[in-house]
Chain A
Amino acid sequence: MSTETDQGPGITSGTGAKADQKANRRARRVLFGCAAITVLTTLSIFFVLIDNAASYFFGARITEVLVGGSFEQTITFTEFFTGTRWAPDHSTPAHGILPIAFGTIAITVGAAFVSIPIGTATALYLSEYSSKSVRSKLKPTLEVLAGIPTIVYGYFAISFINPVMLGPIAESLFGISIGRYSMLSGMIVVGIMTIPMVSSISEDAMQAVPDDLRNGAYALGATKFDVSLNVVIPAAVSGIFASYILAVSRAIGETMAVTLAAGFNANITANPFSEIMTMTAYMVSMARGTSAVGTVEYQSLFAVGLVLFLMTLVMNLMNDWFKRRFQEEYR
């Protein structure tokens, strides 16, 4: 203070103020550094994926080409994207990603049929219908559901959903004897896993709808159901849709549970009780350590990883687009 008194009104930068500004700049740099780490990590993962995927398709990494190697395409994109047999590690290898892409998409769509209706209904119940006491019990339960390790869900599928729930149905209704793994079991378990995501994010969006709107509708003689359906859901639609995208992205990338539930047999099938393989399950089976670094099957991991990365990227872009298009209109 005393230094400032001889500088007139005390608004010019005295020594104290200079030090403040310095500390401010330092804090800003530290925070920027932390933010930069996440960006750098993403970029380097993307680079490693591309680099190794290049080796898978063209026989050489980008880094090798830079020091004098040359590209020579060994696996064509046509084979990769349209081939219907996936066996890079087989004695007669095949590189068609369709069977495992089918596995991933089937599980994702099936899981969405479980998580979206149940999650949305749960969110609506919590936000509009439930009493405080029910809500205070249901919300933590859902959070516990979200916190269970995915491997536990996997064993839940393999020891309960598949043999106890689905086995008898397959046997008695369709005469099919179910194996250790099934596509349907994977769909159900991933669906259950992603319910909390849909319900908690959707509920946040519904809670953010101003009570003014609800009261306006109630005062016109609307029932709770009218208000939920015609006022709350339309007003919260962008948040609800965001929760769907997140749940779907999660289902695409889901690994442990789906591997244990749906199995390791890459095939395109309409039979929900048969074993399939997702892209992530393939990566898990490769990661068991039997394939040497540098082999084609090792490099195939990165090609598959790159495709997964692009799929989730597309989901994120869709989310952004939808958010811009349907941002909450109320103030």
Chain B
Amino acid sequence: MSTQQEDSLITTDVSITDTGRTDQPDTTVVEAQNLDVFYGSDQAIDNVSMEIPEHKVTAMIGPSGCGKSTFLRCINRMNDQIDVCRVEGDITFHGKNVYDNDVDPVALRRKIGMVFQKPNPFPKSIYDNVAYGLRVQGREKEVDLDAEVERALRGAALWDEVNDKLDSSGLDLSGGQQQRLCIARAIAPDPEVILMDEPTSALDPIAAAKIEDLIDDLADEYTVIIVTHNMQQAARISDKTAVFLTGGELVEFGETQRIFEDPEHKQVEDYITGKFG
């Protein structure tokens, strides 16, 4: 075993960055217990249990079709949009099962924001994109909308680039700017958790690097859960890493540094070193 581990250190050029947040004690925000998800008769998530800590970046990695995105979409119930999707087991937010009958998915999504793989700004102005969440949540009047839009754009490191053209269309921005606009849109209503579904996979490396820096900053205020198929990215930005492998099983979950330097499972090691997947 030990020789293989040394092997893995030699063969991977993954650099693990200490995010500087690992020392704080963990409070669990989102927790899955024996979670199963089915699409019709296909099982996408198989008996997954994990605890996701507050104000940390938790990365989910694994090959295509391993269920990592499905897991993410359970947390804010975006899977409700899919007719054939069925969820069994518990997934809790502050101890409350989000699939309980009395949970309103609309209210849940106001606490848990989401950023998608492909930048999807609305065909509206930059300002209206950022204000959208506060508006649909009926909080337009109780907050200073201009100030909130500015705060969100600053939070997404986009303010300096767009402050003189807030009225122009969000679609006129570059891909990387559009994705940061989507992040601004997600943080404007001040959620607790931000889900990110491969947020950099449609971007060029420079734009992706900016988003990664941003994610690091976001973790000070928010709990970030990010799905990525880029292992270097997971290693760089996350505090905890969950490795899903084909079949929807969570094979290993723990501190990112430990997962990358000393994985318990041979499969995880093979995946990380690129022998598989």
Binding site for B on A (CB under 8 A): 131-132, 210-223, 226, 230-231, 234-235, 328-330
Cβ of A222 and Cβ of B136 under 8 Å apart?
yes
Cβ of B120 and Cβ of A220 under 8 Å apart?
no
Complexed CA–CA distance, A330 and B76 (Å): 25
Cβ-based interface call for B231 (8 A): no
Cβ-based interface call for B81 (8 A): yes
Cβ of B171 and Cβ of A221 under 8 Å apart?
no
Complexed CA–CA distance, A216 and B124 (Å): 13
- Say how far B156's CB is from chain A's closest CB, in angstroms: 14
Query: Which of chain B's residues 51-92 have a Cβ closer than 8 Å to chain A?
Result: 76, 78, 81, 83
Q: Which residues of B contact A222 (CB under 8 A)?
A: 106, 132, 136
Cβ of A234 and Cβ of B78 under 8 Å apart?
no
5 contacts across the A-B interface (CB closer than 8 A) = A213-B123, A216-B185, A220-B186, A221-B189, A330-B123
Q: Which residues of B contact A214 (CB under 8 A)?
A: 81
Which one of B7-15, B109-117, B248-256, B265-273 contacts A? B109-117
Cβ-based interface call for B118 (8 A): yes
Q: Which residues of B contact A221 (CB under 8 A)?
A: 106-107, 109-110, 133, 136-137, 189
- Say how far A132's CB is from chain B's closest CB, in angstroms: 7
Given contacts A221-B109, A221-B189, A329-B169, contact A215 B120 (CB under 8 A): yes
Complexed CA–CA distance, A328 and B122 (Å): 12
The size class of the interface chain B forms with chain A is 20 to 34
Specify the main secondary structure of chain A where it touches its partner.
helix
Given contacts A221-B106, A329-B171, A330-B171, contact A215 B136 (CB under 8 A): no
Shortest Cβ distance from A224 into B: residue: B106
Cβ of A235 and Cβ of B136 under 8 Å apart?
no
- Say how far A128's CB is from chain B's closest CB, in angstroms: 11
Cβ-based interface call for B44 (8 A): no
Cβ of A212 and Cβ of B171 under 8 Å apart?
no
Q: Which residues of B contact A218 (CB under 8 A)?
A: 78, 81, 109
Shortest Cβ distance from B188 into A: residue: A220
Cβ-based interface call for B182 (8 A): yes
- Say how far A5's CB is from chain B's closest CB, in angstroms: 45
Shortest Cβ distance from B118 into A: residue: A212
Cβ of A223 and Cβ of B106 under 8 Å apart?
yes
Complexed CA–CA distance, A108 and B106 (Å): 41
Cβ of A219 and Cβ of B109 under 8 Å apart?
yes
Shortest Cβ distance from A132 into B: residue: B83
Complexed CA–CA distance, A231 and B121 (Å): 11
**From B106, B110, B120, B132, contact of A212 by CB (8 A):** B120
